[in-house]
A and B are shown apart, each in its own frame.
Chain A
Amino acid sequence: MDDNQESSGGEYEREPAPDSSLLGPGKFWGMYAGEHCAGTEFMIGPLFLGAGASLRDLVIGLLVGNILAVLTWRYLVTPIAMSRRLTLYYQLERIAGGGLVKFYNVVNGVLFCFLAGAMITVSASAVGVPFGVDYEVPKNVFSLGENSFTAIVLAVGLVITVVAAAGYTTVARAANLAAPWMIAVFAAAGIASIGQMEVTSLSQLVDGAYWDQAIAFVAAELEAEGKTPSTFSFWQIVLFGWVCNGAMHLGMADLSIFRFARHASSGWAPAIGMFLGHYMAWIAAGLLLAAQIKLSQDSTANPGLLAWGALGWTGILCVVIAGWTTANPTIYRAGLAFQGVLPGSSRVAMTLVAGTVATLAGAFPALAYELLGFVGKYATVLGPMGAVLFVDHYLMKRFGLRPEIAFASGMQFNVAVLVAWLAPVAVGLYLIFQQGVDATYCVIPAWLACGVLYLVLSKALQPAAEPEGEAV
């Protein structure tokens, strides 16, 4: 799992990772520390405040949600990864068939592009600050921002795309070097914001009146516009913390990482990413907005301006570097996903395509503002596929069924997987888009439904006697 291996698309793509490639827990702790301190953390924290999440709910809810996420990595992903030592894609191909994996790759790649687009928007918001270009959010999701902001997005997207196309080894190294600094800057952002709000005692800090006042300000603004102030409940926060990286743990994308784990204890490594990036950094970024509201009665979640207000040039650098170092691998992975669909295509060309799509997505400023909702939808779509892997690994033989049926029979499209995946996802998306259900509530039910459906459909569709396939 060294940089060269990653940049070459990963070795052992169609075979188990050999013993000689296995890594100790330290490598995983280091990787997860950097991976989850992204530019988007500067966006998500303020969006929590804007959505009306109370500070107490945020502190406790994110604690619970992140613990659940770490447990999922440790007890769901790591055992299967260490047992099979295969990438997600190859393992899925053996169950679902090559054709279905291509379809999954397209979906995966497009969602990666939108995520990278939000990272580009966040970086552009910081680049714009020295030029006096504001990140303003149009009312319509699919409206462009100011021309000057769009130009900055295109420039940032171009640079990130070209670097990603060249391979991200250098960026990965830069990200590793920057990780401790970024974590310290996130902490500094929270501390400086507390000072800006004139919170000078522990009791004031714990009391959280400064946060409540900021929420009241946002609510009053919305009421003045004739809108109902939004709320973000404790359980929404718990679920958001849990499923924020749902595609990685519930969806088993990180099988590709943990297949290199020598010890199961490596499965605890995501804890560092969760509690630094998805706990401390989110709360610190939320405090940035609370301070901005107190100081200038401005509730706009502009990551660049927020960081500038509390940290000056260091904040600008942090937003740009955090956005850049995470958008790069995301575009790179999207390129690999697209390349998987068109095996004859070059990785560079597909990365350029992915970067172009991501940059176009980044040009719509409101998309980044929808990040809280997007993360839930992302997990709703990709997470359930992990249930197929779980059922295939643990339950198929117990129910007298043949695991890895596509590998055994040579089928390209396993209908049981297709229906088991898409049916719960379709219901989830209907509830989200038509009924207004929060996306985070749909992820776990969709995952469970997918697993049960896969088992039932396999029982109904699998031929009675299948020849034993070659074991991995």
Chain B
Amino acid sequence: MNLIAKGIGAIAIAATVVAPLLYVTGGLELDTAKATLLAATFVWFGSCAASAFATPAETPTPSE
């Protein structure tokens, strides 16, 4: 779960940079690029939250 969340987060960061690059090269309209950035933002923070929730569950508790 943690690994998946981190992977999705990495895709969101990549999308944040790629969307404006596509706009520069004519592949996207500016408004579409902005919408992509906003979606990537939500995905990033969502993946951070998922990762934070997943970590305690997946981290083995050392025996006392």
Contacts and interface: CB of A to CB of B under 8 A. Distances in A.
Contacts of A426: none
Interface string B26-40: 100011011101101
Contacts, number: 62
A180 B16 CA distance: 11
A194 interface: yes
Given A311-B37, A312-B34, A314-B34, A188 B24 contact: no
Interface string A183-213: 0110110011011100110000000000000
Contact of A177 (B19, B30, B33, B45): B45
A192 B30 contact: yes
A192 B48 contact: no
B17 interface: yes
A314 B13 contact: no
A311 B37 CA distance: 7
A312 B30 CA distance: 9
B25 to A, nearest CB: 8
Contact of B13 (A181, A191, A200, A312): A181
Q: By DSSP majority rule, is chain B's interface helix, strand, loop, or mixed?
A: helix
A231 B25 CA distance: 33
B18 to A, nearest CB: 9
A413 interface: no
B17 A187 contact: yes
A196 B52 CA distance: 37
Contacts of A191: 17, 20-21, 23-24
A317 interface: yes
B23 A312 contact: no
Contact of B30 (A181, A185, A196, A317): A196
Tier of interface size on chain B = 20 to 34
B17 A194 contact: no
Given A184-B16, A185-B16, A187-B17, A195 B41 contact: no
A181 B41 contact: yes
Nearest to B28: A195
Given A177-B45, A177-B48, A180-B13, A195 B20 contact: yes
Contacts of B12: 181
Interface of B: 9, 12-13, 16-17, 19-21, 23-26, 30-31, 33-35, 37-38, 40-41, 44-45, 48, 52
Interface of A: 177-178, 180-181, 184-185, 187-188, 191-192, 194-196, 199-200, 311-314, 317
Minimum-distance CB pairs A-B, first 5:
A312-B34, A195-B24, A191-B20, A314-B37, A184-B16
17 contacts: A177-B52, A180-B44, A181-B44, A181-B45, A184-B16, A185-B37, A188-B37, A191-B23, A191-B24, A192-B33, A194-B24, A195-B24, A311-B34, A312-B31, A312-B37, A314-B38, A317-B41
